[in-house]
Amino acid sequence: MITWHENQDLTAANSFGLPVFAEHFVQVNQLTELVEALEQAEAKQWPVLILGGGSNLVLQPALPGAVIGIAAAGIHLLADDGDNVIVEAGAGENWHQFVRHLLQLGLHGLENLALIPGTVGAAPVQNIGAYGVEIADCLHSVIAYDRHAKSVVQLMAAECQLSYRDSLFKSQQPGRYIIWRVRFNLSTTFAPKLHYGALNQYLSQQGQDQPTPEQLVAAVCSVRASKLPDPATLGNAGSFFENPRVDASVYQALKQQFPDLVAYPEKNGQYKLAAGWLIDQAGWKGHRNGGVGVYDKQALVLVNLGGAEFVELMALAGDISASVKQRFGVSLQMEPRVYP
């Protein structure tokens, strides 16, 4: 039996710290509770927002209908053939605690994703990635509740259609699947990926060219903390824009005009431009306007300077996009989800 909380304050439940109230809120620990909550919301024709760690959301002050917080817990080993191990984690588990837990278990593959805010269940939705690794590299499958079929399904990694900051859950079938458990392919052999520039430099400086798994996690945490604000002290939603992908011809023209342009070649021949560099060059780093601003160590991150409001945040995002478009001819896409 679930209990809805009316007019629930979710200001502390979104990492940007926007002032938000949900008309009806419930936290679910069991799948049966999730189904009950969904049935009741459907009967009342409430729109539904599924809430994980709230770290990739930009929320309007009043959320109509239902917000369902996912608290599915537990971490289990499902299969172990000596080298490859399948681990299952509940969608409500904290992502960073999960990464730390794997370190203790001696299971490898997700070290580079340490300290990413949010929950295990949210991780596949936007295919979280950092320092040369993304969830797609280790995802085995997702156990989800399918709201169309009204049944629990297992979606194998390929079916989840993960790509840069995107998935089936985000763009192809938004709202259809509610991720309840996530399974990962991990290894007892440590084969670290150390090629990402900032990580590589940091490890070299530490004299750790061949780091232990603990040293790698510590290095990722240090590099991350040096560039990205801790939401506990300065509200933010991580990268506020995706790194835009452009055709090679556009890249070549830009590179000629701006020789310092930072870009990475993609497998399909396109180039991914560093949005942080574009925004920085357009003069926004450290900009402040009322309760919102651009982080002074990483222009891709917008921050809550205190009392940030939805409208001023969206206005700042719009101004930044317009100025980048004017200067470089490149359109920026917001990375966090705006709701409703």
- Known catalytic residues are 165, 239, 335
54 binds ligand EPU (CB under 6 A): no
Q: Per rule CB under 6 A, is residue 282 in the interface with ligand EPU?
A: no
Q: Which amino acid is present at 17?
A: G
Give percent helix, percent strand, percent coil of the chain, each to the nearest 5. Answer: 30, 30, 40
In three-state secondary structure terms, 33 is helix
* Region of residue 13 (phi > 0: left; psi between -120 and 50: alpha; otherwise: beta): alpha
Select from 271, 283, 267 the least CA-distant residue to 322. 283
- Tell me the C-alpha distance between 3 and 25, whole Å: 9
Q: Does 298 engage in binding with ligand EPU (CB under 6 A)?
A: yes
- The least CB distance from residue 285 to ligand EPU, in Å, is 5
Binding track over 188-227 against ligand EPU, x by CB under 6 A: --------x-x----------------------------x
Q: Which of 8, 141, 167, 243 binds ligand EPU (CB under 6 A)?
A: 243
Closest separation in Å from C-beta 117 to ligand EPU: 8
Helix (H, G, I), strand (E, B) or coil at 212: coil
Q: What strands lie across the sheet with 62-70, from one edge to the other?
A: 5-9, 21-28, 62-70, 48-51
Tell me the per-residue interface mask from 122 to 141 with ligand EPU, x by CB under 6 A, - otherwise: --------xx----------
Which CB sits closer to ligand EPU, 28 or 58? 58
Helices then strands, counting H and E runs in the chain, come out as 7, 20
Does residue 105 interact with ligand EPU by CB under 6 A?
no
Q: Is 88 in the site for ligand EPU (CB under 6 A)?
A: no
Residue 42 in tokens: 């459907």
Residue 262 binds ligand EPU, judged by CB under 6 A: yes
Binding to ligand EPU by residue 271, rule CB under 6 A? no
Window contacting ligand EPU (CB under 6 A); options: 8-16, 94-102, 275-283, 312-320: 275-283
Q: Which two tokens stand for residue 339?
A: 């709701």
234 binds ligand EPU (CB under 6 A): no
The whole-angstrom distance between residue 248's C-alpha and the CA centroid of its chain comes to 27
Residues within the interface to ligand EPU (CB under 6 A): 130-131, 196, 198, 227-228, 238-239, 242-243, 262, 274, 276-277, 280, 285, 298-300, 335
